[in-house]
Amino acid sequence: MSINASDDGFNWGTSGSATAELRVGEFHAGPHEVQGWLNSFGNADVERLSANRWRVRRDLVREPLLELAVTKGLDLLLLPPDWRRPALVGFDGDATLLAGETIDELAREAGRFEQVAAITADAMAGNLDFEASLRRRVRELEGLPESALDRVFERIALNPGVADALRALRAAGALVCALSGGFHFLLDRWVAPLDLHCVVANRLERRAGQLTGQLVGEVIDAQAKADALVSLAHEHGFAPRAIVAVGDGSNDMPMLAAAAVGVAYQAKPRVLEVADGALYGVSMMALAELLLGEGTPADEG
């Protein structure tokens, strides 16, 4: 999808184009499932390019294809018609790169999980915005020893295929960043192993070996994540059509909408409203395979 993601007229996305290139992953016999569904369209709307690639009318197929991905557990992307390779890929942190929610695990360590879960439910019901919700949850962590951060890091693993996917994207020349409403303390530890170009996330205040229950600096919310993606693209002079964002929740929607290719990863249904692709298979590696096409660096190795 496409929005004007900044005030300076830098327009993103491909919603002005009637066509897109559809790529479908192999998991759950994806190409066969999709071809069966596409057979209902005429040749003017759908053209098969290869075993797992089609040229399609984006406005006709986007919503039903994303629904098909959810129901069948498929991986698929709708790419700009002039797609080459990604220049910048921005990933959400919790539940996208990481197989868990950091704030929940910190709350368990503090013995305040139920209190934090209640605040989260209040936010999801629309009674609190993200910043207010985050600050209230972080206040529940006051007094938590810094040693608990190490235990949380040990418990939260990467999602399946993340390391291989990021390795392939970096080998293809893309910059890869974590743009998260989560926390620096955890994501910073993955900078070297994942070769992340940058991390944009929230910072927990610490004093005398404990968390104070406060944040340091600007709160990284949904808009801040989208703004960071735009700023990185400007900084490096990347073409808008080469920008990708990946996330799972409503807090990722502005970032996904700001990218040329916004990808919903195991996402809540609402996220599909702004998505150009969906990953409901078993491995993040499908993202790299679909973005890079045949002969990704990982395959060639």
Mean of per-residue pLDDT scores for the chain: 90
pLDDT at 15: 44
pLDDT of residue 60: 93
Q: How confident is the model at residue 127 (pLDDT cuts 50, 70, 90)?
A: confident
- 275-288 pLDDT, tens digit per residue, is 999 999 999 999 99
Can you give the pLDDT at residue 44? 79
pLDDT of residue 2: 36
Within the chain, which residue ranges are assigned CATH 3.40.50.1000?
A: 1-10+82-100+158-301
Q: Which two tokens stand for residue 207?
A: 């004093």
**Residue pLDDT, tens place only, 136-149:** 999 999 999 999 99
Give 272's pLDDT tier (boundaries 50, 70, 90). very high
Query: What residues are annotated to the active site?
Result: 92, 94
| pLDDT of res. 165 | 98
Cβ atoms 88, 174 nearer than 8 A: yes
Task: Give 167-205 pLDDT, tens digit per residue.
Answer: 999 999 999 999 999 999 999 999 999 999 999 999 999
* Angle between helices 147-155 and 102-110 in degrees, nearest 10: 130
Q: 187-225 b/e with 16+ CB inside 10 Å = b?
A: beebeeebebbebbbbbbebeeebbbbebeeeebbbebb
Model confidence over 211-266: pLDDT tens digits?
999 999 999 999 999 999 999 999 999 999 999 999 999 999 999 999 999 999 99
Q: Please state which CATH number belongs to domain 1-10+82-100+158-301.
A: 3.40.50.1000
Looking at the predicted structure, is the pLDDT value of residue 1 above 90? no
Higher pLDDT, 19 or 298: 19
Over the stretch 2-42, which tens digit does the pLDDT of each residue have? 334 443 333 344 444 689 999 999 988 889 999 999 998 87
State the pLDDT at residue 13.
45
Render pLDDT for 53-79 as a digit per residue (tens, 0 to 9).
Answer: 999 999 999 999 999 999 999 999 999
pLDDT at 120 over 90: no
Residue 300's pLDDT band (cuts 50, 70, 90) = very low
Q: Where in the chain is the domain with CATH 3.30.70?
A: 18-79
Pick the CATH number of 18-79 from 1.10.8, 3.30.460, 3.40.720, 3.30.70: 3.30.70
Distance CA 216, CA 80 (A): 39
DSSP conformation letters of the chain: ---B-STT--B-SSTT-SEEEEEE-SGGGHHHHHHHHHTTS-TTTEEEEETTEEEEEHHHHHHHHHHHHHHHT-EEEEE-TT----SEEEE-TBTTTBSS-HHHHHHHHHT-HHHHHHHHHHHHTTSS-HHHHHHHHHHTTTT-BTHHHHHHHHH-PBPTTHHHHHHHHHHTT-EEEEEEEEEHHHHGGGHHHHT-SEEEEEEEEEETTEEEEEEESS---HHHHHHHHHHHHHHHT--GGGEEEEESSGGGHHHHHHSSEEEEES--GGGGGG-SEEE-SS-THHHHHHHH-SS-HHHH-
**Which DSSP string corresponds to 101-154?**
-HHHHHHHHHT-HHHHHHHHHHHHTTSS-HHHHHHHHHHTTTT-BTHHHHHHHH
